[in-house]
Structure 1
Amino acid sequence: MDLLALADFNLVARHGGFGRAARAADRPKATLSRRVGELEASLGVRLFERGSHTLKLTEEGRALFKRTETLLTELEEAATSIASGGDTPRGRLRVSAPMLFSQMALGRIAAEFVKRYPQVRLDVTTEDRAVDMVEEGYDLVIRVNPDPDERLVGRVLIRDRLVVVAHPDLPLPAMGETAPAVLRPSSDGTGWDLVTPRGEMRIAVDPVLRLGALTMVRDAVRACTGAAMLPFSLVADDLRKGALVSWGHAKAPPIEIWALYPSRRLLSSRVSALLDLLKESFPEGQAEELAAFAGSGR
């Protein structure tokens, strides 16, 4: 495959037309059209549907553009870096991150990142679903307790833990009693297995309220609506001030927040720079650091 023709195809696909691509690259429109035609002939497929006033990617064209855009960008960046004698992060960096971590820390980290690296265009999508970063074109994803994926490698950013908290006016129930609870919609509503000041115990719960976001759950607990099981980092400040009290910690594996990236790619300078900043923000990777970081921004 002609790499230069592939680059011209990506240029036209990115700009949505031969004329716009020609103006953006200061190249003859006829040359771009000829090179894309040669690529179509070599592949034996049509990459664009050409109308009288429109140009649209075919299904094959969309697939080729999706698979080659990032690779060509990385090649261009590598050549630019070598030519300039350095490895300054530049280009677009797409990140997917979970809602709570984004709310607590990622806004300030992203702001600091673009101040340090003004040639990077950082694009952060906040969502709790398990995105397919390879297929969806993300450079880095931040996930909580991700499932193993042989296509991805990464590192743990923070280890958190779950605690059951309540308003000070809501007493810890005795064995066999039921506690009012604020839960997430998908949470088990039967009870919690805890290590408490009284030792290990199971607390039966009555789900009086279900809320979709952990910050909403915390706010409802502050209002003495019921107890809830929440990440320590989210409630550490309330516990320190006495606004909430801990009933104990969950008998469960720790919460691990991971930064992941595709194993088949060389780690770009953009991703390396963001990973370094995340490590700088949470050097020990402890829940207390995330709590302190979130608290310092208020």
Structure 2
Amino acid sequence: METISHDSLDTLSDLAVFVRVVDTRGFSAAARVLGLTKSAVSKRINRLERQLGLRLLQRTTRAMSLTEAGRLLYAQAAQGVALLDSAAQLAAGLIEAPRGTLRVTASVTFGKLCLAPLLPEFLTRYPEIAVQLTLLDRMVDLVDEGYDLALRLTTSPPEQMVAKALMPVRYRLCTSPAYLRGHQITTPADLAGHNCLHYGLREFGNEWRFQRAGKEIRVRVGSNVVANNSEVVRDLLLADLGIGLVWNYAVDREIAAGRLLPLLPEWTPVGPFGQTAWAIWLPQPHLPPKLRVFIDFLAARLGETPATGFK
């Protein structure tokens, strides 16, 4: 990547001073506009003329006029200064109010079931913000992939990031009424021999862990399907295919409606992703308003959601 030298930056700054001198028709007026002394303005113009090897202004004690080179330079430089002023105003607008594009990533099921339903309310409240939502069942690099915010289920957010807890999440052990018919599941050990469906990551493996009152039980289980999406596992449970460990937000509605039945509510399933959904973003001196209001909105709205199915 090519860097800009100090000389180049000085030249750009001096060009801006030159344009102000011409626009205000004098060194004293330009100095007042720029917040500089008259002598500082004069030094900037002299430096620019030396840099270019051209006389830009004809100056007397009573009048100032542009040389031919000065007129040509002013015609081009004035456009550049106007563009810089416009860009500065746009940037200031992003700092002063919640506006602009917000790039957000989340896991597929969490994004669909927990985040997407909240977007209409947020976008109505902040009409100058546009959200680009990317749902991915993998960890993303906020820097390399250009995201403003990631929503992740994890036990410990990355140390180099800033994180805010949004909502508690839990695993739920459940099955369909038809599958449970004729079976007794009273302890984790009873799961052995059943078709046990779960979110398909190697951290889970085929060993399920349950805790109660400081006691932990590990059960070796098997399954004829492993999927990397909680909604897929939920749909397989609804098809009476077995017993599943699924995130609470993926099955709470089905459990409330009686389409799925919770199992072993007195035991706590232990999975690899912790018990909290986090908002994670890069540290920065000043949080852009678009990002700040989105994080605050999610914390308020998702914080209203209890983690059900957990003693």
Q: Which residue of 2 aligns with 1:104?
A: 113
Distance (Å, rounded) in 2 between the aligned partners of 1:107 and 1:228: 25
Q: CA deviation at 1:222?
A: 1.3
Give the 3-state SS of the residue equivalent to 2:241 in structure 1: coil
Map Cα deviations across residues 183-234 of structure 1 (whole Å, 9 max, x no partner).
33324443322258xx964443221112231101011011110111111222
Normalising by structure 1, we get a TM-score of 0.63
Task: Give the match for residue 283 of structure 2.
Answer: 263
* 1:78-227 equivalent positions in 2, closer than 5 A: 79-80=92-93, 87-145=96-154, 148-168=157-177, 169-170=179-180, 171=183, 172=185, 175=189, 177-187=192-202, 188-195=204-211, 201-227=217-243
TM-score normalised over the length of structure 2: 0.61
* Distance across 2 between alignment mates of 1:229 and 1:3: 63
* Distance across 2 between alignment mates of 1:142 and 1:3: 43
Inter-partner Cα distance in structure 1 for 2:222 and 2:10:
63
Query: Does 1:282 pair with 2:302?
Result: yes
Query: Larger Cα Rg: Structure 1 or Structure 2?
Result: 2
Residue 270 of structure 1: CA displacement?
0.1
CA contact 1:151–1:264 (8 Å) conserved in 2: no
Matches of 1:81 and 1:186, distance apart in 2 = 40
Secondary structure of residue in 1 paired with 2:168? strand
With over 3 angstroms needed to count, the CA separation of the structure-2 counterparts of 1:135 and 1:201, relative to structure 1, is closer
State the shift of 1:147 in Å: 5.2
SS of the residue aligned with 2:139?
coil
- The DSSP-based 3-state class of the residue aligned with 1:125 is strand
Shift of 1:154: 1.7
Aligned residues: 222
Structure 1: segments with no counterpart, 5+ residues: 6-29, 36-72, 289-298
Q: Structure 2 CA distance, aligned partners of 1:194 and 1:186?
A: 18
Q: Distance in 1 between matches of 2:247 and 2:287?
A: 31
| Matched residue type, 1:250 | P
1:246 Cα deviation after fit: 2.1
- RMSD of aligned alpha carbons: 3.4
**Measured at CA, do residues 89 and 131 of structure 1 come closer, stay the same or move farther in structure 2, by a change above 3 Å?**
same
Identity of matched residues, %: 26
CA drift at 1:143: 1.2
Q: Secondary structure at the match of 1:235?
A: helix
- What does residue 250 of structure 1 align with? 269
Structure 2 letter corresponding to 1:106: L
Which aligned runs of 4 or more in structure 1 are off by greater than 6 angstroms? none
Change (3 A) 1:182 1:149: closer
Contact 2:209–2:217, Cα closer than 8 Å, also in 1: yes
Query: Of Structure 1 and Structure 2, which has the larger fraction of its residues in strand?
Result: 1
Residues 112 and 268 of structure 1: CA distance in aligned 2, closer, same or farther (over 3 Å): same
Distance 1:204 1:149 in 2: 31
Cα distance, 1:101–1:31 mapped onto 2, change above 3 Å: farther
Secondary structure of the 2:123 match is helix
Matched, 1:241 2:257: yes
1:113-139 Cα offsets, whole Å, 9 max, x none, are: 222222222211111221111232211
- d(CA) in 2 for partners of 1:265 and 1:184? 38
Q: Is the 8 A contact 2:155 2:274 kept in 1?
A: no
